Structures are given as C-alpha cells and as structure tokens.
Amino acid sequence: MGIVTDSKEAHDPKDPDTCTIYQIHRLFLDLPGAKALAEEYRNGLPYGDAKRQLFEQCMEYFAPMRERRSILQKKEDEIHDILQKGAKKASGVASETLERVKRAVGLI
C-alpha cells in the first residue's frame, strides 16, 4: 500500500495513463480487463481500492509460483544435487572458454 499517488480526492477522476498503480496493474491484465480498469479510474476509483485490487491480482498471479516454491523447498537434497550438476557443467564450459581466450591473447 506504499505506492505514492497524487493528492486527488478519493472519488475524483484519475488519469490511468499517468497513474503508477494502473501502469503496474495492467501488466497482469488482458486487454479487456485493462480497459475496464482504466474506465474505473476515469470514474473515480479511490487509490486505496486500486491498491487493494492490485495486491489481490498480484497474489492471484503469483500463487502457482509460490506453490511450486513450497513444493521445491521440501526437496532440498534433490535441488542441491541439481545445482551441483549445473555448477560442474558450467565450470567445464567456463574452463574451455577461458582456455580459448588465453590462447587468443597469447597467454598460453
């Protein structure tokens, strides 16, 4: 709820094109949803209500990712193994690249 807004009264019409809350919120909406929300702003949607709607939209949008993270947290050993394999692979690629660079600049 800490997004800074202008000093318009709660039910004053607001310009969605200049409103930070709307600009963020529309990233989570399809075109019809963004148009409908823009109209709400023009009709005087209070900033507090707009912020609550944005919060709810964000929570809904990111819910599957939070759920996936929760599942992965329970598989700590498996994740650690995956990270170790990735680090080993990345180290091999980096070593080959570094050797090519050293040859190119005449260090070896």
CB 20 within 8 A of CB 4: yes
**CB atoms inside a 10 Å sphere around CB 7:** 5
**CB atoms inside a 10 Å sphere around CB 49:** 13
pLDDT for 100 equals 95
Average pLDDT per run of 10 along the chain, which is 108 residues long? Answer: 82 92 94 96 94 95 96 93 96 96 93
